[in-house]
Amino acid sequence: MCLAIPGKVVSISGDDDPLTRMGRINFGGVVKEASLAYVPEVVLGDYVIVHVGFALSKVDEAEAQKVFEYLKQMGELGELETKKATG
């Protein structure tokens, strides 16, 4: 199942063109790149909802932490770590 999950923006590149703006997103210890083209207002430290490599919207930190806790309870955070190790 595909799931949009929250992550914290830890770096941003490509500020010169909003369509190619990218961010490194920390998903509870697993860092992946995602396009920030849909969320031009995002700055370092913001939390975003990411689905298939695109940040879709901002979310507040408290909500992001709730989702991380639910994913941890469901055992889904381990799937992110496995994907990191394999590709």
Q: What are the pLDDT digits (tens) for 3-62?
A: 788 999 999 999 888 899 999 999 888 899 999 999 999 999 999 999 999 999 999 999
How many domains in the chain? 1
User: Nearest CA to 20 among 3, 33, 2?
Assistant: 33
pLDDT of residue 29: 85
What span, in angstroms and rounded, lies between the C-alpha atoms of 80 and 73?
14
pLDDT of residue 53: 94
The residue with greater pLDDT, 58 or 81, is 58
What span, in angstroms and rounded, lies between the C-alpha atoms of 77 and 80?
5
| 77 band by pLDDT with thresholds 50, 70 and 90 | low
- Domain holding 38, by residue range, is 5-86
Q: Report the SS3 class of residue 67.
A: helix
pTM comes to: 0.78
